[in-house]
Structure 1
Amino acid sequence: MLVDASTPVRVIKFRSETDEVANLQDSVATEEPLEIRLSYDDGSSRQVQNVAVTMRTPGHDNELAVGFLYTEGIIQNAADVLSAEHCFIACSENRENVIQVDMSEGIMPNLQKSERNFYTTSSCGVCGKSSINAIRTVSSYTDLADSDYVSADILYSLPEKLLAHQAVFASTGGLHASALFSLSGELLIVREDVGRHNALDKLIGASLLMNDLPLTQKLLLLSGRISFELVQKAAMAGIRIIAAIGAPSSLAIQLAQEFNITLVGFLRQQRLNIYSAEHRISIS
C-alpha cells in the first residue's frame, strides 16, 4: 500500500457551462524526492555512495531502489542485496526520503554500468544519460525459450482490471501504473507512481525481491504511453509482451523489435495496435 500517495489541497473549480464556482478540498498525487544510497565493501572498508535522486510517489521505496539498481545493471540478482531500508540511523533529516541498499558481502556493484547523473525527474527516467548507447543495457534473458502467447480478448479485458485496482489514481487522476498479468489475464502485481519509470522499477524490484525473475509467461500493462526506457527495463526483466493504453515512441518500437518484444499500444475499447512481434497475439 502506498504511503502518503495523495496530498490534500484547496482548489477552485470553475464550470463555464453553468458559471459555477466552487472552493473545495481536493487530492493530488504526492511527489517527493528519494535519494538512493548504495553501501558495499570495496575490499578495505565499507563504502556508502549516493547513486541517484528521483522524484517519486512515496511507498514501496525499497522495491523502487532495488528495481532501479537492477534495471540500470548495477546489481545482478536478489542475492546481491543484503537489505534495502530507509536511512533512519545515519540520516538526521528527511529520513523517509533516503533509502540505503546494502550489498551482500563480497559483492561489488557495477557502478560503471550507469552513466546517469544523480538527479532524474519523475517524467523522464533517461535524463542524465550521456548517450543513447549507454542505456542499451543488455538483458540476461534474451536467449530463453519463447512460449509466451496471449489472445486479443485477454488483452481487451486488462485496462478495466487495472483501473479497478488504482485507488490513488481514482482520487487524484495523477499517477501512472505498471501492472503484471498472467497470460490468462490474472492480475499479479500493480505499482503506481507519478513517474512511469518509477512505477515499473517498483514492479520489477518487487519481482526481484521475490526471486520471480525472469518474468516470462507474464505480460506487462502500462497505463500511459510507452517510452524507450520502459521497453529497456522490461527487457532487463525478461518480459516479452508489453501492452499500453497509450502510444509508443519510435525508439520504443525500435528497441522492442531489437529484443523481439511484442509491443501493443492504444489498448482501449476493444481495439489495439501491434507494433512488433505480432506472432505472440492470437486475434481470433
Structure 2
Amino acid sequence: MSPLLEVPPMPARSSSFLSAYDALLARWPVPVEPIDVRTAHGTTRVNACGPRDGRPLVLLHGGGSTSAIWFANAGAWAEAGHRVLAVDLIGDPGRSVHDGDPLGGVPGLLGWLDAVLDRLGVEEADLCGHSYGGWIALTYALHAPGRVRRLALLDPTQCFAGFRPGYLLRAVPLFLPGRTAGRARAFLDRETGGDLDADFREVYALGYADFPASRVVTGPRPDAASLRAPALVLLAEGSRAHDVRAVAAGAGAVGAVAVLPGATHHNLPMAAAGEVNARVGAFLGEVGR
C-alpha cells in the first residue's frame, strides 16, 4: 500500500470519508475504545480493544488503509486476551491529525511511535504490521529491541525484497495531481482482481481523495540480520507488490515464513483472516492474566 506520508497540517476531512471509516470500525466484533494520544507531531488515534490488563499488541496498517482495516482480525486477538492497540499512522488517512512538528524522516517516525507508546504506558509490546506497516514494525523492532517482544509481519514491503517495477508503475498515477476516489478504486481492483471488501475499498478510496499527496517518509531496507525479537512472516501468494519467493527467501533467515494461498497484497488481513488470526495467535502464545 502507499507508504506513510509526511504532511503539513491537515485540511478538514470530508464527512463521507469519516462516515465510511466509522462504518468499517463498527464491524469490529468487540467493543472499541477510541484513544487520542497527543505528541509533538499532533494527535494520534488509537483504536483499542480487549482487556486493559492484557499483553499489548500494536497493529500498524499499510499506507492508506487506516486502522479500521483490522476489522476481521482484532476481535480474535482481543478475545484471546490481548490488549489490541490499532494505530492510525500520523500523516496518513485516518483520524490521526498531523498538526504539529514535521516528522523529519525516519528518526522522527520512530520517535513518534516511541512517544505514542510512552503516553499509552506501554513498556513492551508485540507488533503486527501489514505492508508498509510491516516496514515500520521491523524498523522499530531494530530501533527499540527491548520494547518489542514478538514481531508479526503480513506481506511486508521493502523489508526482505524490493517492489516489483510493474507494481510501482501502476502505483505512479496515485501520486499525480487530480486525486480522485475512482483512481484509487481502479488501482485496488487491478491489484486484487476485484476480490476486496467493499467497505474497506471505500475507506481507502475516499481517504486517498481527501488527503493531499506528500513527501514519503521511508528509508533503507532494514538490516534484519540483527533482529532480536522472534518473527513470523505471512505472505500473500497472489501479491503483485513484490516477488513472494524472494521475500520468503530473505525472511526465512530471521523467522518463520508461510505463504497463504488465495490472498493478495492488499486483501491479506481480510481475505485470509481465519489463517492469519490462527497463525498470529499461536505465534504470540497464550496471554497470562
* Same-fold call, TM cutoff 0.5: no
Structure whose alpha-carbon radius of gyration is higher: 1
Please report the TM-score for the alignment, with normalisation by the length of structure 1.
0.31
Please report the TM-score for the alignment, with normalisation by the length of structure 2.
0.30
